[in-house]
A and B are shown apart, each in its own frame.
Chain A
Amino acid sequence: MTDQTPHRQTEANVVLRQIGKPLERSDAEGKATGRTRYAGDYTMPSMLHGRVLRSELASARLKHLDASAARNLPGVLCVLTADELPDRLAATDIPGQTGQKRASTDRQILVREFIRHHGEPLALIAAETPAIAEKAHDLIEYEIEPLPGVYDIDSALGPDAPIVTEPDNIVGQHKIRKGNVDKGFAEADHIIENTFKTQFIEHAFLEPEVGLAWVDENGVINIRMSTQVIEHFRFIADALGVPHNKVRILGAMVGGGFGGKEDITVELYLALLAQATRRPVRLAYTREDSFLGHGKRHPFVISHKTGVTKQGKITALEVNIRADSGAYVFLSPYVLLYSAVAAPGPYRIDNVKIDSAAIATNNMYTSAFRGFGAAQACVAYEAQMDEIAKAIGIDRFELRRRNFMRTGDKTATGQTVESAIWSDECMTRALEALGEETKAEEPVKIGRGVATYQQSYGRITWLHDTAEAWVGIEIDGTVIVRSGVTDIGGGQVSALSQIAAESLGVGLEDVIIYHSDSAVTPLAGTTTATRALYMTGNAVHKASSILRGRMIDFAANELDVQPDEVDLANGQAFVVDDPSNFISLTDLAARGASEGLQRSELAMFRAPFTDPIDKETGQGPVFPDFTYGCHAVEVSVDTETGEVTVLKSVGAHDIGQAINPQAVEGQIEGGALMGQGYALSEELIYQEGKLVSPSFSEYLIPTSMDMPEIKTIILESRSGLGPFGAKGIGEPSFTPVAPAIANAVADAIGTRVFELPITPEKVVKVLSQSQTNGDLEQKLNKTPLLED
């Protein structure tokens, strides 16, 4: 047994009593009654209010900035500008808890001279009231000189392009080389080439970024905030030039994240203002701040060239990927890597050549967003599958079946997938669940589409990911879990409680979990990368399993039987063959306490560790494992107005083992609607780098009026690396949705919109083009010269 498989240590005599049951989440009551306190609900006596002054332009030079009027305003405690932070930089690299050296991608905290994106912070204010802070904000005088900028990836690579990121605006590149594509294309009967484009989108979590910071009597800067990553405390300490143990980040239940609260947001400004004023400071982003203040989803341009035989076997694939990384690097190189690794989809292709580049522009920087590059890759590869099927005249589902990877096959990077790959079954089940086709009358057409996928769960394996958890049994038999995990709404905390409850044979209500405090809860890493359940779930399972073993040994002694005859359930330790011979966990814990039995355990779970992949070939393991599944939709398209309506939406995913099926359904349903917004309505419009749609009245996320009939199908192969064989579902539930919708629209109208979002205007446009082309073809066909 290794650390990587702790779930197998104790499964032998465990009957699952709680895992796999649709239990009411442990956080449900607090939230449904409104009693849960979010980070923005905390206040302190003598608290100040922060405000950020942001640039109105995307590419400019700050000629001078004068904060004296603002500083002189009564009630203003401090105004920080770049002058007060002469040699301070902020990290933008991945939140590392591993001590690995980070890339040299640090950025200025406040603009020193060059403004690189719209909304870049120029100054920070702390004042007695929000109104005074707002007034001070308006009193800061500054002069900026517009500079030429680059606003699309093609111009960014041009010979005279302004340089946003030295030396050449290329901030990341990955190559994958497998087999021999020339040979593969030579074996092909058809070669199909297409280019697909995706757009900037916004996370649109409902709770804008917010936090409260104070310096305590030990000089520790405490920050209570809404974040996915409490372990940014190290980067904050580095930026402030204080030791790591002088910054503490405490979370709270997070009002949505989706990757948008993965990078540093308000904590850096809070720390600086609290350090400068020595008073508690609260900083709450407005919705506009939120639109301007955190990284977006990368727009991608992805070209596929696929060689395929008459029988539909893919023989070669060449992919070119370009992503707009915006003005700062942030997680772009990693997002790009995800997209390159994901580019062939869940298909077995022996000859693969992938080139990818992330390119700097003066648009808003782009970073983590549910699906993390693999989602954009899926938009391309699943559209390409339908285009191939159409071009060679084969059923599009059959084409997929003929190419699906199976367990034991290797990915494009040569990583062998050892867990179940149930793409085929997921697709069949999802299609079945669509049921009878909806009837429609002209000009409305009905279409159906699917998308399958391969999406990693867990972080890149050379980041050497770990998670810790502590589990203890109180003297009265109740259970406490401590773990630094953050809960961003997916039920992360409840799932951990459920795992501890299962292992220790108590009810969910008997477990209390303390979470997301970098000073007092064992560090569990980030709630990102679909890793929380996999990593922290395993850590909790490991700690509770060890504790379970210890309690069983102790109980066996008390009950005068062998340990393997004892089970824990319903708050009792009992003899399996004679349940009347039992001792309550309360008595057991009390007796253990009086005899000095250790009733707690701290455990660390380590993901598989690997070396980085080869730079030239991209060969090597990249992720711990993958989730597979399928999303299927039925749409109606009004061919006159171009309006698309999603009628039915079905997600079928093999998630290994559902810890709480109701929570899993929730992820799939939420992913279905978020994917629908991505496919049809959401787009951040930047004009010369300036965001023109920084509100929910202009940026349209799906509402209750857009909800289709959503069905969820959960398959359980129990083959995952998570606790009890679980895989991950947070990101996978989103990834296939937009491409499934795009395919359904193409199915309905017989032609494709190659660029998300599929707006009514674009639908009407491609329809009129295909009309014209159709007319032209008809004419040409009638021309005798062209007949052979």
Chain B
Amino acid sequence: MSLEKAIPVKINGVPHELLARANETLLDCLRQHGQFEVKNGCEKGDCGACAVQIEGEAVDSCLTLTWTVEGRSITTLEGLNDTNKPHPLIAAFMEQGAVQCGYCTPGIIVAAEEMLRETLNPTDDDIALALSGNLCRCTGYTKIFAAIRQAATVLREGGGND
């Protein structure tokens, strides 16, 4: 067992130090830090439940070693919602009924948010591709697609937080 090192990072805009050994994943460290919205579904990079953004790019935190993110900005679902108004994606997921058991939801919203920064006119193929690393066993994805389309419309019309 290797020694623990303090890794400085920003979590949802706030500077923190994550204590981690060389082989510890960002998933474990974030959850130990209390970011329980980051979910563990497989620890193998197969399900996307653990997705977070590093410098805006969605990654599986279970495949990311904490030592490799020194000095980086990490955004979880919580960070997407840190204003008084829910993020349009979050609002759309609630309104469209895109949440069932909800275990996949944090990772899916994190992945969708990255895509919506690329394009506010996503085709269904764009959405399918953006979510291809995120499994959902409950919803059949249908309402998730609808929610993402709704959020894209809201954002296109300038209804976001910014």
Contacts and interface: CB of A to CB of B under 8 A. Distances in A.
10 contacts: A27-B102, A33-B78, A33-B90, A34-B105, A37-B36, A669-B141, A674-B140, A695-B44, A703-B135, A704-B145
Nearest to B110: A34
Given A34-B105, A206-B41, A207-B101, A670 B1 contact: no
Interface stretch (B66-74, B126-134, B154-162): B126-134
Given A287-B42, A669-B139, A707 B128 contact: yes
Nearest to A203: B137
B65 to A, nearest CB: 15
Given A206-B49, A695-B46, A255 B103 contact: yes
Interface string A271-292: 0000000000000101100000
Interface residues of B, number: 51
Contacts of A34: 36-37, 76-78, 81, 105-106
Q: Which of A29, A32, A490, A672 has the most CB of B within 10 A?
A: A32
A24 B94 contact: yes
B100 interface: yes
Interface in B113-149: 127-129, 131-132, 134-145
B86 interface: yes
B88 to A, nearest CB: 11
Nearest to A23: B97
Interface string A222-266: 000000000000000000000000000000011110100000000
Interface in B40-99: 40-44, 46-47, 49, 76-78, 81, 86, 90-91, 93-99
A522 B121 CA distance: 49
Nearest to B125: A705
Interface string A469-504: 000000000000000000011110000000000000
Contact of A207 (B37, B77, B103, B129): B103
Contacts of A491: 100
A319 B98 CA distance: 41
A256 B37 contact: no
Contacts of A15: none
Nearest to A287: B42
Given A205-B137, A208-B41, A286-B43, 12 more contacts: A22-B97, A28-B97, A32-B93, A205-B101, A207-B39, A488-B101, A666-B100, A666-B138, A669-B143, A670-B137, A695-B42, A701-B137
B109 interface: yes
B90 A206 contact: no
Given A28-B97, A255-B103, A489-B101, A206 B136 contact: yes
Q: Chain A: interface residue count, which band?
A: 35 or more
B104 interface: yes
Contact of A705 (B39, B77, B102, B132): B132
Nearest to A651: B140
A57 to B, nearest CB: 24
Contacts of B93: 28, 32
A38 interface: yes
A740 to B, nearest CB: 15
Contacts of A488: 101
Nearest to B96: A662
Contacts of B138: 206, 256, 489, 666, 670
A211 to B, nearest CB: 14
A665 B138 CA distance: 11
Given A28-B97, A33-B90, A38-B103, A258 B44 contact: no
A178 interface: no
A142 interface: no
Given A253-B102, A704-B132, A704-B134, A666 B139 contact: yes
A38 B129 CA distance: 28
A37 B100 CA distance: 14
A704 B99 contact: no
Contacts of A256: 100-101, 103, 137-138
A208 B100 contact: no
Contacts of A27: 99, 102
A206 B101 contact: yes
A745 to B, nearest CB: 20
A28 to B, nearest CB: 4
A663 interface: yes
Given A25-B97, A696-B46, A32 B102 contact: yes
A368 to B, nearest CB: 16
Nearest to B124: A707
